[in-house]
Amino acid sequence: MDRHGETDQGLERHAQATRRALESAIKNRREDLVLAEAGNVRSAFVWAMASPDRAEMAVALATLPSMVMAVDGAVMEVTERILAVEPLVNDATPKRLRAQFWHWRGRLCLGGRMSVQKALDSLDLAEALFTELNDERHVHACRRRFPQQ
């Protein structure tokens, strides 16, 4: 690919395919398929972070698999990716992706990995975005702050 000047195009197609696979696996609640994409997520994320014009892709690759991978034991890896893309999340980021990002950032920050206030602020922001999207299931998920609630 490199000899033909197609390296970046191939890596972009790889990242797009990884994102689509994650979106499908999440939609179908197939955690096993999310985990099967872990290696692809890692390599596509490195590619996406290498250029500012790939911000949305980087945010998606950090956000979409985050909770499944964290539950599987990759908490530090996932948290590092979420924190790395935080500066890239803005009004240009699609609203659903922004909501998912703030939701998972809030969840990952609970348990002493970050200040409780930052976690709560993230969950509040996610809740507001999910409310705008009329996504009551995720609004409820954001309101469940701690296991005892």
What's residue 2's pLDDT? 47
Q: Which comes out higher in pLDDT, residue 74 or 115?
A: 74
Tell me the per-residue pLDDT of 119-136, one tens digit each, with 9 for 90 and over. 889 999 999 999 999 999
What's residue 148's pLDDT? 39
Computed over every residue of the chain, the mean pLDDT equals: 90
Which whole number is the average pLDDT over 57-72?
96
Nearest of 80, 146, 95 to residue 125 by alpha carbon? 95
The overall pTM is greater than 0.85: yes
What's residue 8's pLDDT? 81
The one-letter amino acid code at 113 reads R
Tell me the per-residue pLDDT of 75-121, one tens digit each, with 9 for 90 and over. 999 999 999 999 999 999 999 999 999 999 998 876 666 778 888 89
